[in-house]
Amino acid sequence: MRQFDVETPFDTSVEALWKLLQDASLLSELTTFPEVTLVGDGASVEGNRIHLRVGIGPVTLPWISAITLAGRHAFCDQGVTLPFPFKRFCHVHSVKEVDGKAVMVDEVTFDSYLPEAIVEQFILRPMFAGRAVAFQKALNS
């Protein structure tokens, strides 16, 4: 099992960033690698299941996550149905204020059929980096 955190600061309020983060439909629009399509309800509320299709080009696979915990400026999604290479996936999303800036915190724990270090460096970290750029553009528009 591998665990890593990503903290991304934004020059905005916690409330503005949280509004962007809590709706999976916007997360799917802002995530370009891999391509993500929301199927159904995207509300990040406790008890909800988020149904996604993820992939590259014409090849997409289902990704279903259960929102197992939701609180003030935080929620946790746990993979129920995961695409290769994931065996298990847990992602805590939260927003906090640091030095007057909103900081998006992603705490990720996963198991993989491939070496976890490779999955982290070549799939997950590029995904979070691309999402940070997209969030900044959305906040600036």
What proportion of the chain, given as a percentage, has pLDDT over 90? 57
Is 90 exceeded by the pLDDT of residue 69?
no
- Per-residue pLDDT tens over the stretch 71-107: 889 999 999 999 999 999 999 999 999 999 999 999 9
- Per-residue pLDDT tens over the stretch 38-65: 888 777 888 889 898 888 888 889 999 9
List the domains of the chain with CATH numbers. 2-140 (3.30.530.20)
Contact 53/37 with Cβ under 8 angstroms? Answer: yes
Parallel, antiparallel, or unpaired: how do β-strands 74-81 and 49-56 relate? unpaired
* pLDDT given for residue 125 in this prediction: 94
Write the CB contacts of 88 (distance below 8 Å, at least 6 apart in sequence): 1, 79, 82, 109, 110, 111
Closest by CA to 16, choosing from 76, 69, 98, 73, is 73
Residue entry with tokens 């993979």:
79
* pLDDT given for residue 86 in this prediction: 96
Alpha carbon distances (Å) from 108 to 79, 105, 117, 125: 11, 10, 13, 11
Q: What is the mean pLDDT of the chain?
A: 89
